[in-house]
Amino acid sequence: MLKTYLTEDAVQFKADAQNWEEAIRLAADPLLKNQTIEASYIEMMIENVKNLGPYIVLLPKFAMPHARPENGVNRLGLSLLILEKGVEFASGKGANVFLVLAAPDAAAHLNILSELSTLLSSQEKVDALALAKNYQELVTILEEEEK
């Protein structure tokens, strides 16, 4: 299912971002362009981190920015940004893999989260994601996970 949503136009590889806010904006851009989300969703993801701290950093190197459906989600979607050089949050936590989740309701994304939790249960897989340089490398990692 991750592969279904992480199409080539939803995935970006960049050298760096100025800060975590820019990383979230960059990561969400494909979803904004294809109208999966509204600009308000991006702003709310950033506000949530400012207000609640970097709760989106689920593991070293891996962050999953998200907000509530009513903050501008039009349909279920994922986008992914992989930075060569990670960004740090005020707490000292850092990430270079940003997987933006846009869920239109409380249930639509549960299958995605289940598959994602399997992928993230291996730090080796997270490290491989963080080192991916192109879309084909990402697909290989996701296909290995499906086996």
Model confidence pLDDT, tens digit, residues 109-147: 777 888 888 888 888 888 999 999 999 999 999 888 666
Q: How many separate domains does the chain show?
A: 1
Annotated active-site residue 66? The verdict is: yes
Q: For residue 129, what are the domain limits?
A: 2-146
CATH number for 89: 3.40.930.10
- What value, to the nearest 5°, has the Cα angle with vertex 65 and ends 114 and 71? 100
Q: Which of 25, 61, 66, 109 is catalytic?
A: 66
Cα-only R_g, the chain: 14
pLDDT in tens, the chain (147 residues): 788 899 999 999 999 999 999 999 999 999 999 999 999 999 999 999 999 999 999 998 999 999 999 999 999 999 999 999 999 998 889 999 999 999 988 776 777 888 888 888 888 888 999 999 999 999 999 888 666
Regarding pTM above 0.85, the answer is yes
